[in-house]
A = this chain, B = another copy of it.
Amino acid sequence: MTLNTFMSEAFVEARRALSVGEVPVGCVFVYQGNVIARGANEVNATKNATRHAEFICIDQILEYCRNNGLLAEKVFPEISVVVTVEPCIMCSAALHDLRVKEIIYGCANDRFGGKTVVDVPQVVNYSLKVQGGICADEAMELLKEFYKGENPSAPVAKSKR
């Protein structure tokens, strides 16, 4: 599968989040060419402000490792994180701590971005490969649709659901 295919799967998650009133950010974790974790924001459903898509996937990876007799510290460094929006400062720090292989994201996170707003790699003194701008417009459209709020009849909103 190609990068765009993986990003498409992340968008499936993001749209699912939007449909249930969550901030539309979706994520998949790719290991050895396969998606082994997928998630979206669950902040509202869980009333837990830390349940971002990336943390949902991190927990799935740990379960995957337990179920398959794998060591998480060997698996994370082979994982590509594909996420529709640049990880926030919290998630970026977590992904650096976990030493994932790379982060590939859609649009920048101008408010809380772990690279755009704060240079997390510099803070933690460790750089992993980060590539942004993949399907950025589509990612931003989803965010705009969410923050537009009470206007479900807008053309953009309709076409995205």
Contacts and interface: CB of A to CB of B under 8 A. Distances in A.
Interface residues of A, number: 28
A46 B58 CA distance: 12
Q: How many copies does the complex hold?
A: 2
A36 interface: no
A93 B109 CA distance: 15
A5 to B, nearest CB: 28
Contacts of A118: 89, 118, 123
A30 to B, nearest CB: 19
A73 interface: yes
Interface of A: 46-50, 55, 58, 62, 65, 71-73, 88-90, 93-94, 97-99, 111-112, 117-118, 120, 123-125
Contacts of A90: 89-90, 93-94, 97
